[in-house]
């Protein structure tokens, strides 16, 4: 099924503390996902999303996406994804995944358990000409050193053939239904993103 997205004051809310709430809302008998995006492209550098919500508690029919996207379909939309979902499978746990589209090519996706994430966490990727380094860690502190117990998962992608181009892609954040007509009713239907930060490559 296709998703409908709504913006500010229906499915996207800017909170008094400057955090952003993405939620699934019902209006006129229809469900609307929340979506926010940047209007400008940022280029090579480090992209950091600081998420307050414990994502393992997300409704199993929902997907949270933190990603880049361009209109160039032949380039797999220059899409880099950090996603969280049980993909509508209520018997399965909510997992995270890093993806460099197309997802079904070998070595383009890795999934990870959210069991170690017991509170706010930072989800990031560092985008360079020849590689993308994904890293997630507990809390909002500075990037931890390799081997730190605060690291949730790390993954590196270096497929030159399908490397996305930052000159064409914008940042998006959205919360939507995973092919289901409505939430399962057994998890969170709102996510709080405390901040997004971009650190330009020197």
8 A C-beta contact, residue 41 and residue 168: yes
User: pLDDT band at 116, cuts 50/70/90?
Assistant: confident
User: pLDDT band at 202, cuts 50/70/90?
Assistant: confident
ω into 102 cis (within 30 of 0): yes
pTM score of the predicted model: 0.95
- Strand 5-6 and strand 30-37: the pairing is parallel
> How much of the chain exceeds pLDDT 90, in percent?
84
Q: How high is the pLDDT of residue 179?
A: 86
8 A C-beta contact, residue 30 and residue 130: no
8 A C-beta contact, residue 82 and residue 96: yes
What are the structural domains, with CATH classification, of the chain?
A: 37-176+193-200 (2.60.120.200)
3-state secondary structure of 62: strand
The 10s digit of each residue's pLDDT in 34-63 is 999 999 999 999 999 999 999 999 999 999
Sign of CA dihedral 67, 71, 72, 76: positive
Q: How high is the pLDDT of residue 110?
A: 97
At which residue do the structure tokens 């099924």 appear? 1
Determine the Cα–Cα distance for residues 11 and 191; give it in Å rounded to an integer. Answer: 11
Determine the Cα–Cα distance for residues 109 and 79; give it in Å rounded to an integer. Answer: 12
Q: How high is the pLDDT of residue 115?
A: 84
Query: Between these two residues, 76 and 123, which has the higher pLDDT value?
Result: 123
Query: Between these two residues, 179 and 78, which has the higher pLDDT value?
Result: 78
3-state secondary structure of 81: strand
Mean pLDDT over all residues of the chain?
Answer: 94
Helix, strand, coil shares of the chain, percent, nearest 5, are 5, 45, 50
Helix (H) or strand (E) holding 133: strand 132-138
Q: Residue 154: which of 177, 116, 123, 186 has the closest Cα?
A: 123
Q: How high is the pLDDT of residue 159?
A: 78
Q: How high is the pLDDT of residue 169?
A: 94
What average pLDDT does this structure show over 71-79?
Answer: 89
């Amino acid at each position: 099924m296709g998703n409908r997205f709504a913006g500010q004051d229906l499915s996207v809310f800017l909170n008094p503390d400057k955090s952003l709430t993405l939620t699934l809302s019902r209006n006129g008998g229809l469900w609307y996902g929340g979506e926010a995006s940047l209007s400008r492209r940022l280029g090579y550098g480090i992209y950091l999303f600081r998420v307050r919500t414990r994502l393992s508690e997300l409704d199993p029919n929902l997907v949270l996406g933190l990603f880049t996207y361009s209109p160039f379909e032949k380039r797999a939309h220059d899409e880099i994804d950090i996603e969280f979902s049980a993909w509508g499978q209520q018997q399965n746990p909510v997992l995270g995944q890093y993806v460099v589209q197309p997802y079904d090519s070998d070595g383009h996706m890795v999934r990870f358990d959210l069991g170690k994430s017991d509170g706010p966490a930072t989800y990031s990727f560092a985008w360079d000409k020849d590689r993308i380094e994904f890293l997630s860690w507990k809390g909002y502190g500075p990037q931890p050193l390799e081997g730190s117990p605060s690291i949730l998962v790390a993954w590196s992608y270096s497929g030159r053939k399908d490397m996305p181009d930052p000159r064409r892609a914008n940042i998006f954040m959205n919360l939507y239904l995973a092919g289901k007509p409505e939430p399962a009713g057994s998890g969170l239907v709102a996510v709080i993103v405390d901040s997004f930060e971009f650190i330009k490559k020197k």
